[in-house]
Amino acid sequence: MSLPKLYHFHLSYAAQIARLGLAEKGVAYDGFSIDLLGGENYEPWYMEINPKGVVPTFVSDQDTVVGSLNIVRFADAHFPGPQLTPTDQAKRDVMEAWIARHQAVPERELTYALLPGFEGKMARKGFPDRIKILQKNKDKQPHLAEMYDQKIADLKRWEHDCNDPETVQKMEAELDALFDDFSQHIADRTWVTGDEYSVADVLWTVLVARMHMMGIGHKVTQRPNLAAYLERAKARPSFKQAPVHLKVLKSIALPLILRAKIPFLRPLIGVKR
Ligand SMILES: N[C@@H](CCC(=O)N[C@@H](CS)C(=O)NCC(=O)O)C(=O)O
């Protein structure tokens, strides 16, 4: 039996959730990083396994699982290792309620809107290039036209949302309200459901850590319960193993930006898989 494969991207939020869940479960896999900046996720072979053209995708002998939360739940249900779902129904209800609130966060729009520095500028301005890649692939693969059209429409919405000050302000205000609630919830608990780390904590660890990468780490440091929660999560071996990133690592981002911007350099610059 071969090892499962995880198609991911080192800095991706959703991929970090999948990697953290798999690390918590102790699931061994072959990681294959998809070059999101170069549009590798829009290649037909990838869109055929992940029609939204996003990472992560988990491919095992049993199944192909798309989406970070689905991957963590799949790993929890099908692999040995510590249970990430409480057996107690009341705790499961608490877990599901916080999973639902986590899933409602427009993380990718916020990340692209707020990511500081050169990387942020590149991200916000990169949509036309991405749409060109999608259009080219669509022209070459007319049978996949519908999938490509949906992705193009998705990118246009995303581009609008992360560049529109009013939308960004609203998203940030909603995030603040959510963090106030979570901070209150976690005040007298180690983890979301009590003493055991659960699927909800896999998600919330990555969301809270993400604030630092987005350049809005003050949303965590100004809320001592959130800061303490992140410190507890960082102390777990899975955090480093995943790894969950607290900042954009230039060693990962710059080669990919160069590959995307100067395509003839591609054969000279490899991708860290
Ligand atoms: N809900 C999905 C979101 C996946 C997602 O949006 N992934 C981003 C990276 S964090 C991606 O691959 N974006 C590339 C694109 O949309 O072009 C999940 O949790 O897996």
CATH number, position 180 = 1.20.1050.130
How many other C-beta atoms are found inside a 10 Å radius of the C-beta of residue 180? 12
pLDDT at 271 over 70: no
DSSP 43: S
- For residue 42, the number of C-alpha atoms closer than 13 Å in the C-beta half-sphere is 25
* Residue of 12, 54, 131, 203 to mutate, ligand 1, most atoms within 8 A of C-beta: 54
| Distance between Cα 14 and ligand 1 center (Å) | 6
Q: What is the pTM of this model?
A: 0.93
Does the residue 145 lie in any domain? Answer: yes
Model confidence pLDDT, tens digit, residues 52-105:
999 999 999 889 999 999 999 999 999 999 999 999 999 999 999 999 999 999
Q: Is the CB of 68 under 6 A from ligand 1?
A: yes
- Categorize the per-residue pLDDT at 192 as very low, low, confident or very high, splitting at 50, 70 and 90: very high
- Domain for residue 13, yes or no? yes
pLDDT, position 268: 61
The response to whether residue 53 sits with its C-beta less than 6 Å from ligand 1 reads yes
d(CA 166, CA 172): 10
CB 208, CB 230: distance < 8 Å: yes
pLDDT for 219-257, tens place per residue? Answer: 999 999 999 999 999 999 999 999 999 986 777 766 666
Is 273 a domain residue? no
The tally of domains found in the chain comes to 1
Determine the structural domain holding residue 200 and report its residue range: 5-268
Q: Is residue 254 part of a domain?
A: yes
151 part of a folded domain:
yes
pLDDT score, position 273: 64
Whether residue 137 lies inside any domain: the answer is yes
Q: Which one, of 155, 130, 127, 148, lies nearest residue 48 by Cα? A: 148
The answer to whether position 28 is within a domain reads: yes
| Model pLDDT, residue 269 | 62
Q: Is the pLDDT of residue 258 over 70?
A: no
For the chain, give the longest Cα–Cα distance: 57
H helices of the chain, where?
A: 13-25, 44-49, 68-78, 89-103, 107-114, 117-125, 127-140, 145-163, 165-186, 199-214, 218-221, 224-234, 237-241, 250-261
Per-residue pLDDT tens digits for 110-128: 999 998 888 888 889 889 9
